[in-house]
Amino acid sequence: MKVIIIGGVAGGATAAARLRRLDEKAEIIIFERSGFVSYANCGLPYYIGGVIEDESELTLQTPMSFFRRFRIDVRVHHEVTAINPDEKTVSVTNLETGESFLESYDRLIISTGAKPSLPDVYGVNLDRVFTLRTVEDTLKIRDFVEKNRPRSAVMAGGGFISCELAENLREMGLEVTIVQRPRQLMNPFDSDMASFIHSEMRRHGVRLMLGRTVEGFEKTPGGVSVLIKDCKPIEADMVVLAIGVTPDTHLAREAGIKLGIKGSIIVNERMETSIPDIYAVGDAVLVKNFVSGQDTLIPLAGPANKQGRIAADNIRGIESGYKGSQGSSVLKIFNLTAAATGLNETAAKKAGFDCDKVILSPMSHAGYYPGGKLMTMKVVFEKKTYRLLGAQIIGYEGVDKRIDVLATAIRAGMNAVDLKDLDLAYAPPYSSAKDPVNMAGYMIDNIANGIVKQGYIEDVNSLPHDGSVTLLDTRTPGEFARGHIDGFINIPVDDLRDRLPEISSEKPVYVLCQSGLRSYIAARILSGNGFDCYNLAGGYRFYDVVMNDRYMADASAKSDMVASPQ
Residue 512 φ/ψ, nearest 5 degrees: -130, 145
Handedness of CA 165, 167, 172, 177 (dihedral sign): positive
Q: Using CA atoms, how far apart are residues 249 and 432, in angstroms rounded to an integer?
A: 48
Secondary structure of residue 566 in the 3-state scheme: coil
For residue 176, the one-letter residue type is V
Q: Are 305 and 325 in contact (CB under 8 A)?
A: no
* Cα distance from N-terminal residue to C-terminal residue, the chain: 74
Secondary structure of residue 304 in the 3-state scheme: helix
Element (H, E) at 45: helix 44-48
Q: Using CA atoms, how far apart are residues 451 and 443, in angstroms rounded to an integer?
A: 9
Q: Are 226 and 215 in contact (CB under 8 A)?
A: no
Sort strands 223-228 and 234-236 into parallel, antiparallel or unpaired: antiparallel
Residue in 10, 71, 11, 7 with CA at minimum distance from that of residue 34: 7
Of 42, 231, 355, 513, the active-site residue reads 42
Cα dist from 187 to 163, 244, 345, 401, whole Å: 12, 11, 11, 21
Secondary structure of residue 134 in the 3-state scheme: coil
**Is residue 163 flagged as an active site residue?**
no
| Sheet strand arrangement including 355-360 | 329-333, 336-342, 388-395, 376-382, 355-360
Q: Which residues are catalytic?
A: 42
